[in-house]
Amino acid sequence: MKVDVYVLYGGKSVEHEVSLLTALSIINALNKEKYNVYPIYITKNGIWYNKGLVRETIKDVGELKNFSTKSILKSIAEDFLKKIKANTRTVIFPALHGTNGEDGTIQGLLELLDVPYVGNGIMASAVGFDKAMTKELFSKANVPQAQYEILDYQEWIKSEKDSYVRLEEAIGYPCFVKPARLGSSVGINRCGNIEELKEAINEAFFYDIKLVIEKEIIGREMQISVIGNESPKSSVIGEFIQEKPFMDYSAKYLDGKLIPVIPARLSDEITSKMQETALKIFKLLNCNGLARVDYFVSHNDKFFVNEINTMPGFTKASMTPVLWEKTDGTSYQQLIEKLIEYAFERHEKKGTLLYDRRII
């Protein structure tokens, strides 16, 4: 019997277009002899649309989009819930990035439906998506990272000048201003003086009410992929050579000027330590399925964790699939199938738990 795979993509997120690219790759890569593939498009207004069973290759992301006049509630009920067939092996693949997809919200819905789904659960997704929360957790766990401060919108409104003074004294320049709960480098800016800091903070507060301000680390940007459930595995380390001072949205998705170097040019000792740290973080956040841990490595081979991404970019050219191909020869299609297996494995284990008090 074929497995029914429902691929969720799009969503109410500034990373909507990135999600379309991920979904296009996943849908086309899934073996139609083994899987019944159903794309579920979520518009920028949050309306769900089921495109039906896919039998042929989808050539363009434009084919993945649709328009519906239904309400959000009705669209979820009719285009998603009613379409899930009873008595079949079904798995949900949330190919969603950013808000309302990577932050624990969609995971909460899928947990209530008690259906297997690819990737991380509610807690790992919510905490991993919140840069401020992960910074605090990393600090408690002695994970090396850049010096940082957290800026809350209400604090900034009440005492803007005092906020700038605090940040200049604690962090200084150059620094980076980041929305706490956003990805794909949206809303992130490098600041070299007070004027740039003010401008960056004003922009970042359009995207979130909580910001992370980090001291700049001069170093190479590297990434490690981790996959699995209770016994996760770490990939080799990948490095990006880039023209820009940091990987903004254009550098990642539009310019095409990032050159991956895999494996990264590192000693065996630091490679091992970085892989151990990636596994430590994966377990610390109680991750499942997959995650990508991003690093800075300085000129003297000191490494600093930048962030964890609980639903990394997942096109064929994205770092996560490329890392596994270089690690053990796992193809893009094979990696997708592994993630589906992890989803079933996690769901089956959860099914053994008791939800009534045991009387001895």
Query: Residues with catalytic annotation?
Result: 15, 184, 318
Tell how many helices (H) and how many strands (E) occur in the chain.
Answer: 12, 13
Question: What is the 3-state secondary structure of 140-167?
Answer: HCCCCECCEEEEEHHHHHHCHHHHHHHH
**185 annotated as a binding-site residue:** yes
| Residue 131 is labelled as binding a ligand | yes
How many angstroms separate the CA atoms of 289 and 91, rounded? 13
Q: Is 217 annotated as a binding residue?
A: yes
Distance CA 308, CA 31 (A): 29
184 is in an annotated binding site: yes
Distance between alpha carbon 312 and the CA centroid of its chain, in Å?
4
The rounded distance, in Å, linking the Cα atoms of 125 and 97 is: 11
Annotation-wise, does 294 bind a ligand? yes
Residue 215 is assigned to a ligand binding site: yes
* Rg value, the chain, Cα: 21
Is residue 190 a known part of a binding site? no
Does 216 appear as a known binding residue? Answer: yes
Please list, in sequence order, all residues whose beta carbon lies within 8 angstroms of the beta carbon of residue 45, skipping any fewer than 6 positions away.
12, 72
Q: Compute the distance between CA of residue 26 and CA of residue 134 in angstroms, rounded to an integer.
A: 28
36 is an annotated ligand-binding site residue: no
Opening angle at CA 246, ends 216 and 296, nearest 5: 55
Q: What is the DSSP string of 329-345?
A: ---HHHHHHHHHHHHHH
Residue 259 DSSP SS3: strand
Q: How far is CA 67 from the centre of its chain?
A: 26
**Residues 6 or more apart from 255 whose CB is under 8 A from it?**
243, 244
Cβ pair 43, 100 in contact under 8 A: no
Q: Does 257 appear as a known binding residue? A: no
Is 176 annotated as belonging to a binding site? yes
Residue 186 is classified by DSSP as T
Q: What are phi and psi of 74, to 5 degrees?
A: -65, -40
Residues tagged in the binding site annotation for Mg(2+): 294, 307, 309
Residues tagged in the binding site annotation for ATP: 131, 176-178, 184-185, 214-221, 306-307
Residues tagged in the binding site annotation: 131, 176-178, 184-185, 214-221, 294, 306-307, 309
